[in-house]
Amino acid sequence: MPSDFFISDHHFGHKLIIDFESRPFADADEMTEVMIQKWNAAVGSEDKVFHLGDFSFLNQERTQEIVRKLNGYKFLVLGNHDRGRSRSWWLDAGFDEVSEYPVLYKDFFLLSHEPVYMNKHMPYVNVHGHIHGQKYEGKNYFNVCVEHWDYTPLTFEQIRDAVVVSEEQA
């Protein structure tokens, strides 16, 4: 049965992100190869991946080569570094779906690139990227930036189990 996965902020081709975020790669080419391997080790061809932005700094041809190598159906929520390119640019690069706006997933999870304002009374969890190595406190936020998850997409179940309070009584 296909699974849904979530990840953000690969920054393919962005040489400076290696130093900015202390990524464990010698250069952008090694970073690209390792991140493709980790994606494909987790994601099957029938799975769906929600990429929550800041996918690639490369031109369309090189971005297309990467997207083509990645398993699964790919849904991109545009990040701040993706917005300089049109929605159609990203579709032409190989994404199956592209959204310029946050997406509500399973009526409870708000998928966005940047964290959105949430308070403890709001009935949602914001699954987001953008802040890389940082984390917001509380069960209303879940950061799927690659730096937190060993550059590997997370399943919906991993996120759900981390944020949804169990109602079981001891």
Is 167 a residue whose pLDDT tops 60?
A: no
pLDDT tens sequence across 72-122: 999 999 999 999 999 999 999 999 999 999 999 999 999 999 999 988 788
Residues whose CB falls within 8 Å of the CB of residue 152, separated by 6 or more in sequence, listed in order:
7, 38, 39, 41, 42, 146
pLDDT tens sequence across 126-164: 999 999 888 887 788 999 999 999 999 999 999 999 987
pLDDT tens sequence across 27-82: 999 999 999 999 999 999 999 999 999 999 999 999 999 999 999 999 999 999 99
pLDDT of residue 136: 81
pLDDT of residue 120: 78
pLDDT of residue 164: 76
